[in-house]
Amino acid sequence: MAAFDYQRASIPIRSDLPAAHRRYWDRLAKPGTWWTGVERVAIARESRNAVTCAFCAARRVALSPYAFAGEHEHAHALPTRVVDAVHRIVTDQARITRAWVSDNAANGLSNEAYVELAGIVVAVLSIDEFHRALGLELEPLPEPIPGEPSGYRPTHLAHDIGFVPTIPPEGAVGPEADLWPGGRTANVLRALTLVPDALRDWRHLSAAQYLSFDEMRNFEQSRDRSLNRMQIELVAARVSAINECFY
């Protein structure tokens, strides 16, 4: 049976959603830019463990997450620092700091690997959240595909925003020319561009779960959605507010 067979769901689900989720699962299993397929699937598994991790739950309500000792509930397939990064992005992302990201980079979790990790964590989380929202079983993780990461690093990078280098607005050229149309971008698009494929994955999932780049410029009623733009943004804003997202 194909992954993301929503025929079993009690309500009809438009076909672009399973297609986007299936596409991501295929990519998750393959070697990435800085992680192997085995490691990428292990990161995905940790993003699921984080949701029910008792240590994360306790740390979440601690005054500071940086002075709270303990051990995550995890699958023992990844280094401790990597496990902590995955769990923190899922359960306590609002308190991530530049110092923590820099400390990781100085101790084996490079900025590049961290960005790819973050892209995996949030993609898997959003697919799982879609399932939880509709009361569907989570999709089994894919079988990893052997091979080595590409190690690709974009040529044009700046360190002018955020905790990690990103491609500047004028830097989407050459192999990165597809990243944003017309040379116009926003910081949230630049965020993961140290690993350009992470943004490409982001765009594919967003086009199905939220809106495509083209439709983002339509502030009324998208032809493929039953919610109008105000209703869509009301949901988006409520979720963002609960997550205490300043951005």
Long-range own/partner contacts, residues 35-40 (CB < 8 A, 24 or more apart): 35/113, 35/116, 35/117, 35/120, 35/149, 36/144, 36/146, 36/147, 36/148, 36/149, 37/144, 37/145, 37/146, 37/147, 38/144, 38/146, 39/78, 40/120, 40/144
Report the nearest approach of another protein to the CB of residue 44 (Å): 13
Helices (H) then strands (E): counts for the chain: 10, 0
Report the nearest approach of another protein to the CB of residue 140 (Å): 18
Report the nearest approach of another protein to the CB of residue 41 (Å): 18
Report the nearest approach of another protein to the CB of residue 117 (Å): 9
Closer residue to another protein, CB minimum distance, 68 or 145:
68
One-character DSSP codes across 3-59: SS-GGGSSS---THHHHHHHHHHHHHHS--SSS-HHHHHHHHHHHHHHHT-HHHHHH
Closer residue to another protein, CB minimum distance, 2 or 241:
241
Closer residue to another protein, CB minimum distance, 81 or 98:
98
Judge whether 179 and 199 are in contact, CB under 8 Å.
Answer: yes
> Structure tokens of 6?
């929503």
Closer residue to another protein, CB minimum distance, 145 or 176:
176
Report the nearest approach of another protein to the CB of residue 148 (Å): 25
Report the nearest approach of another protein to the CB of residue 224 (Å): 9
Judge whether 116 and 32 are in contact, CB under 8 Å.
Answer: yes
Closer residue to another protein, CB minimum distance, 145 or 203:
203
Closer residue to another protein, CB minimum distance, 148 or 244:
244
